[in-house]
Structure 1
Amino acid sequence: MQNELKSAIRFNDFVAYFGARGVVAMAWWLGAAHAARIREDQNSFPFLQIVGAAGSGKSLLVDYLQKLNGQTPYNYSLAHASPAGRARTFASAGQRIVICENHDGSEQSIDWDELRPLYNSGSVFIRSADGPSEEVTFRGALVITANQPLECSDAVRSRIVLIDISTTDAHTPRVRPEAIGNLNAGEASAFGIKVAQSEDWIASTLLVQVPAYQGQLISKYGENLNRRTALNCAQMFALLDLLSTLLSIPDDLRIEAGHFIHDIAFLDTIPY
């Protein structure tokens, strides 16, 4: 079953193109399918930010990952909507993963702190023209794509798992983009179906593993590690374990992906 699933989603080609960073993004995607449950259990689920220069493969990565859970690829510009419009988008998202583009240099801007409740409670307030605001729960997950890391507060930054696919140490693609770009969405959705059926397994595994990983990270990196970042990384380690079991990922690749998560924690301890 594991080999069939890996073949259906062209996992080996995906790794050949995106490397360990792609595996970490896929692990987040696995958790995002049950983001509302994870927030209920642990009061948080991190945002994913995918950063890369034009032509680095951001759209290819997002389009591939969306096929895994049967979503039609789309982009949504937060900056080109009003706060009320953004609230309506999140409120109506259901359990979908919302992909938001941040246009660098745009004359329009967004107060990123506006998104902070989506990390914890998922609360969204919808205000009608002639009535009081209504509180609605965001049950999806948030991905932000951009050419450069967001210029935002530390409070927002600590809610983000950042994956930069165009850094000097980023993986060099070993296959052509078509190897994963023309992935059949119907075949790829086998991943999403399996993940959807595994909610209790995913949630119970995180409940057991996250506190242990969080303690290990705090012990390793000390008091300078933001507790929110420690929780994000602990969740990512647990999700990586789940993905490794689901797809029988080789130990060397799992360890390499784990090193990338450790880098996120380590960089958090360095003053900006």
Structure 2
Amino acid sequence: MQNQLKSAIRFNDFVAYFGAPGVVALAWWIGAAHADRIRQEQNSFPFLQILGAAGSGKTLLMDYLQKLNGETPQSPTLPLDHATPAARARALAAARQRIVICEVLCESERSFDWDELKPLYNSGKVTIRSADNQHEDMTFHGALVITANHRVECSDAVSSRMVTVNLSTDGAHRPRVRPEVIADFKANEASEFTSKVAESEDWIISTIQTFLPCYQGQLTRKYGAGLNARTALNCAQLICLIDLLCSLLSISQDLQLEARKLVHDIAFTDTLPY
């Protein structure tokens, strides 16, 4: 069954192209399918920030991950700079349980208040205010991905709600397959994987509940008081999801450890002074 699922989503080709950063993003993605439930149980689910210079594979990665949900890749659904706060709130509420992808352009960062997104990390609550100052509270049940060429300029309160996967770091993985191999992957090929992730909700939630305190404690002891408690929680959730993905697809221990190391790097970076 595990080999069948790996074959269905061309996992070996995916890893040959994206390496451990792809595994981390994919692990977050299977958690994002149940983000609403995770927020109910854990009171939080992190945003995923995908960084990379032009040509690093951000769009290719996002297209692939959307196909795992049976979706045809499409343009970002959350406008950050060309919409009013009310329009953004409506877009989030209308997304229901979907994973919303927003692409950040360098020139747009100055015109958007990133603090608007903070409630999506915990409660998922969004408030729609009309021109006559009436307001309506709605709930975002999905998860949020932010893609950008460079780290977005936002407050510590927002950045600590993100986990970042950088596709163009020094010594980044060198693709061992052509991008066309990934691009040719079709959404209907992933139907079995999509169904398996959907029906694994209770297993995913119970596993996170069981192992998260241990991983969170390990991170806190390893990196000390300099590690933001929110970052420790995010990284512990992500390590749990890596374990789940490795179990689901029978991923090698070496690749699992490599993916875990990337998460530890996220935690370590959080402790560095700016």
TM-score normalised to structure 2 length: 0.97
2:198 corresponds in structure 1 to 196
Name the CA distance, whole Å, in 2 between partners of 1:107 and 1:65: 25
Q: CA deviation at 1:105?
A: 2.3
Distance 1:147 1:127, change over 3 A: same
The offset of 1:64, in angstroms, is 0.2
Given the superposition, is the C-alpha separation of residues 107 and 44 from structure 1 closer, same or farther in structure 2, using an over 3 Å criterion?
closer
- Pairing 1:209-220 to 2, within 5 Å after superposition: 209-220=211-222
| Aligned 8 A contact 2:86 2:130 in 1 | no
**Percent identity over paired residues:** 68
Alignment of 1:1-272 (within 5 A): 1-76=1-76, 77-106=79-108, 109-129=111-131, 132-272=134-274
Deviation readout 1:201-253 (Å, 9 max, x if unpaired) = 11111111111110110011101100000000000000000000000000000
Q: Distance in 1 between matches of 2:114 and 2:58?
A: 21
Distance 1:97 1:106 in 2: 21
Deviation at 1:130, TM superposition (A): 5.3
Partner of 2:107: helix, strand, or coil? coil
* Aligned partner letter, 1:153: S
Shift in CA distance, 67/230, structure 1 to aligned 2, threshold 3 Å: same
Residue 189 of structure 1 deviates from its aligned partner by 2.8
| CA apart distance, 1:134 | 1.4
In 2, the alpha carbon distance for the partners of 1:151 and 1:169 equals 24
Say if 1:68 and 1:190, in contact at 8 Å, map to a contact too. Answer: no
- Alpha-carbon distance in 2 for matches of 1:214, 1:137: 28
Cα distance in structure 2, aligned partners of 1:140 and 1:190: 21
Amino acid at match of 1:235: Q
Q: Is the 8 A contact 1:20 1:253 kept in 2?
A: yes
The separation in 1 between residues aligned to 2:75 and 2:214, in whole angstroms, is: 36
* Count of matched residue positions in the alignment of Structure 1 and Structure 2: 272
Q: Name the CA distance, whole Å, in 2 between partners of 1:18 and 1:205.
A: 26
Q: TM-score, normalised by structure 1?
A: 0.97
Unmatched 5+ stretches in structure 2: none
The offset of 1:257, in angstroms, is 0.4
CA shift, 1:71, in A, is 1.9
Structure 1 contact 87–125 (Cα < 8 Å) conserved = yes
How far is the alpha carbon of 1:107 from its aligned partner?
7.9
Task: Answer yes or no: is the 8 Å Cα contact 1:91–1:136 preserved in 2.
Answer: yes
Please list the CA deviations of residues 51-84 of structure 1 after superposition, one character each: whole Å capped at 9, or x if unmatched. Answer: 1111111000000001001122123232121111
Cα contact 1:67–1:189 (8 A) shared by 2 = no
Q: Which amino acid aligns with 1:238?
A: C
For structure 1, list consecutive stretches of 5 or more residues without a partner in the other structure.
none
Aligned to 1:175, what secondary structure does the other structure show?
coil
Alpha-carbon contact 2:35-2:143 (below 8 Å) kept = yes
CA contact (8 A) 1:80 1:108 kept: no
- Let me know the Cα RMSD of the aligned residues: 1.2
